[in-house]
Structure 1
Amino acid sequence: MPTIAAAAQTRRPAPVLRNPPLDYAYDGTFEGLLTVLFSIYDRKAAPNSIQPLGAVQGGLFAQPVEISTNEATAARVWDGLLRYLDKEARTRLFHTFLSEQPDRELLIFRYTDLAMRTGRDISEHYADDNVRRVQRVAQQMYREKHRMEAFVRFEKTRDGLFHATIEPDFDVLPLIAAHFTKRYADQRWLIYDQRRHYGLYYDLHRTDIVQFDNEAAPRRHAGVSATVLDEREPLFQVLWQAYFDHVNIPERKNLKLHRRHMPLRYWKYLSEKQPRTQPFQPIQNKRPVQPGGPALAASPIEKE
């Protein structure tokens, strides 16, 4: 196993960015951003800006340099980051990208550039504003991921598909895919991100990313047609609501604490937070226990 000193010797110092700064444009994917990082050091030109193609704002005298995504180059950069960052720090960069912060591309560049020029682990170098921001974004992403794993509510359709609609603050679908694939491996399901217009679909074998046209996309606000849902789905929702009503302890009600752990923005997708349109009624198919007598009263058929 190589020593720390030997690993440090394999680190190449970051090239000096001596050329005039440039504006970079890419396709908006994480692989595209990694390709841009490679191009920055290949051209030895620091970025004035790094923008997705759909949001490019050209300057008065200069047009942005469009960088085509190269998956082989992106993989090379991703693996090469381990020379300067541990796996957790590298993962935080991916989480920063998914956070959709307005300047996420420049933030990722500044973090990696600092790591390459420092030549040591910077994950706890909180004197630097970029390190603090990446750490804070990673914590926000972790909380959102945890909440999505806890608050997703599925509805069953007639063809046996379990579907759920979410609208998270950050793009967390790539982070929750493994959790739901493992937990619901015996059923087909679809989780659709209404804000970003794409979803995860599991077909009992693999989980894929799927996209919909605006007309075909699921619309939770408009409600799901009763002809699409399984005929038992309304009963399942009533049972779920009844469970929460029965475990509730009114004397210990604390709305402030409740909203802290379950923010209001999630409530519109939670069955237990919807108005009670149908009260739960237990099925009357059990014979009562007879005090002082047999455990169960005999039915007329049994008497005969």
Structure 2
Amino acid sequence: MSRSLTPPRRKPAPASAAVGAAGARPKVAALSNPPLDYVYDGSFEGLLSVLFAIYDRKAAPNTIQPLGSVQGGLFAQPVQVDTDEATAARVWDGLLRHMDEEARTRLFHVFLGEQPDRELLIFRYADLAMRTGRDISENYADDDVRRVAHIAQQMYREKHRMEAFVRFEKTSDELFHATIDPDFDVLPLIAPHFTKRYADQRWLIFDKRRRYGLYYDLTRTDVVEFESTAPQRTTDISATVLDEREPLFKLLWQSYFDHVNIPERKNMKLHRRHMPLRYWRYLSEKQPREQRFEPIKNKRPPGGQAALGQ
């Protein structure tokens, strides 16, 4: 399955043509033929190609399944739809005639959310938007609209937490590496943040559950995929490839965290609400201490000021 960091884009049309296209809502074809089972390559561009095929064939989907998980029926063979990037870009741009850009972006977030029925949910939402003739993004009485909004909200939270909690380790060849295991496929969403924030260093963020990552080479951020299917049970990389100073950096950060901590103000319930337990694996300050913590012993004793005055 090919992966991309952004939805497909076509070359921008001239301003006059773009305004005319946005202002007109084309009539949507009636899906009058018997429903079909559709199969695609699992990419977002592939799903957009399926949406085009549905209206081209005028046949609603019984199912829309990625190639790797096809469950065929007893009598009907699924229709395999090949991914066409030009068609996908045409469909993606055409959705703006029926919804605003924020609502359209939610569909991409739903795809990254990896719900079992994400393909049918995206189809139903897009079909409703095209047939209603008005903005449906706040029509929360509809189950599909409500689910799309909920998934988009979950994706936003996961994106925000990954941006806050990812911690890099420096390797001996000057590469900053981080391994993550998010609940959703958020790498395409966090790519702009890390590209902008760490533009002066090479880095790799690897999603061990989905077996692909983001690699920034000081020029651009690309998707890198790994063929091995062997499970990875730890988020650590081998100590032999780490920069020799990396353990010291970890120790210094843990020491700093311990010394700025105020035990009397500890509120673990609030702490877990803002930093859920499943993110602790990424944080140096949450790892077992290699050295026992010793409080700083340079505080002046009571009466110290008076003693100095004497």
CA distance in 2 between partners of 1:126 and 1:8 (Å): 25
Query: Would you say the 8 A contact 2:179–2:236 is kept in 1?
Result: no
CA distance in 2 between partners of 1:69 and 1:8 (Å): 25
In the other structure, the counterpart of 1:65 is 79
Alpha carbons of 1:222 and 1:93: their partners in 2 closer, same or farther (altered >3 Å)? closer
Q: What's the C-alpha RMSD, in Å, of the aligned pairs? A: 2.4
Tell me the secondary structure at the aligned position of residue 168 of structure 1.
coil
Q: Give the paired residue count.
A: 283
CA distance in 1 between partners of 2:160 and 2:151 (Å): 14
CA distance in 2 between partners of 1:73 and 1:98 (Å): 20
Are residue 254 (structure 1) and residue 235 (structure 2) matched? Answer: no
Which has the higher relative contact order, 1 or 2, with Cα contacts under 8 A spaced 6 or more apart?
Answer: 2
Taking structure 2 as the reference length, what is the TM-score of the superposition?
A: 0.86
In the other structure, the counterpart of 2:62 is 48
Aligned-residue offset at 1:154:
0.3
Deviations 1:193-232 (A, max 9, x none): 0100000000000100001232799x57174322211010
In the other structure, the counterpart of 1:166 is 180
Tell me which amino acid in the other structure corresponds to 1:118: T
In the other structure, the counterpart of 2:7 is none
Tell me the secondary structure at the aligned position of residue 164 of structure 1.
strand
Alpha carbons of 1:222 and 1:42: their partners in 2 closer, same or farther (altered >3 Å)? closer
In the other structure, the counterpart of 1:179 is 193
Deviations 1:119-149 (A, max 9, x none): 1111111110000000000000000000000
Are residue 148 (structure 1) and residue 162 (structure 2) matched? Answer: yes
In the other structure, the counterpart of 1:242 is 255
Unpaired stretches in structure 1, ≥5 consecutive residues: 283-290, 293-304
Tell me the secondary structure at the aligned position of residue 65 of structure 2.
strand
CA distance in 2 between partners of 1:160 and 1:9 (Å): 52
Are residue 100 (structure 1) and residue 130 (structure 2) matched? Answer: no
CA distance in 2 between partners of 1:222 and 1:85 (Å): 41
Which of 1 and 2 has greater Rg? 1
CA distance in 2 between partners of 1:86 and 1:242 (Å): 49
After TM superposition, where is structure 1 displaced by more than 4 Å over at least 4 residues in a row? 5-9, 279-282
2:149 aligns with one of 127, 135, 140: 135
CA distance in 2 between partners of 1:255 and 1:46 (Å): 51
Taking structure 1 as the reference length, what is the TM-score of the superposition?
A: 0.88
CA distance in 2 between partners of 1:148 and 1:91 (Å): 19
Aligned-residue offset at 1:276:
0.3
Query: Would you say the 8 A contact 2:31–2:58 is kept in 1?
Result: yes
Tell me the secondary structure at the aligned position of residue 50 of structure 1.
strand
Tell me which amino acid in the other structure corresponds to 2:43: T
Query: Would you say the 8 A contact 2:177–2:204 is kept in 1?
Result: yes
Aligned-residue offset at 1:280:
6.9
CA distance in 1 between partners of 2:245 and 2:282 (Å): 19
Higher mean alpha-carbon deviation, 118-127 vs 246-255, is at 246-255
Tell me which amino acid in the other structure corresponds to 2:272: R
CA distance in 1 between partners of 2:120 and 2:190 (Å): 26
CA distance in 2 between partners of 1:239 and 1:78 (Å): 49
Deviations 1:247-302 (A, max 9, x none): 212112121221122111111222111000125789xxxxxxxx97xxxxxxxxxx
Aligned-residue offset at 1:6:
7.3
Matches within 5 A, 1:18-33: 18-33=32-47
Alpha carbons of 1:273 and 1:203: their partners in 2 closer, same or farther (altered >3 Å)? same
Tell me which amino acid in the other structure corresponds to 1:147: R
1:117 aligns with one of 117, 131, 136: 131
